Amino acid sequence: MDDLNKNRYLICLLASGMLLYYAVPRLSISAGGTEGLFSLFWLALALMVIAGNLTGLLYTPSKKKRQQLSKSQRKRIKARFYQ
């Protein structure tokens, strides 16, 4: 399951990079009115999508870390009951 999530993050990251590659030359940030506003918001949204996918790809804990974390949490829970 962990590999599927990493693959999904990678595919989404590549797709958003492709969208940026094709859209940036066509967007005019310096244009006035709604065209410039749309360009700014579109770029901000695209950068948030890329940042979210990078965060998910880089900071997702592995299964081993999750299992070790759950063992340490179990010890803490047992310690609370005995005290």
φ, ψ (nearest 5 deg) of residue 30: -80, -5
pTM score, two decimals?
Answer: 0.67
Residue 36 pLDDT > 60, yes or no?
Answer: yes
φ, ψ (nearest 5 deg) of residue 25: -65, -25
Q: Could you give the 3-state DSSP secondary structure of residue 33?
A: coil
State the pLDDT confidence band at 4, using cuts at 50, 70 and 90: confident
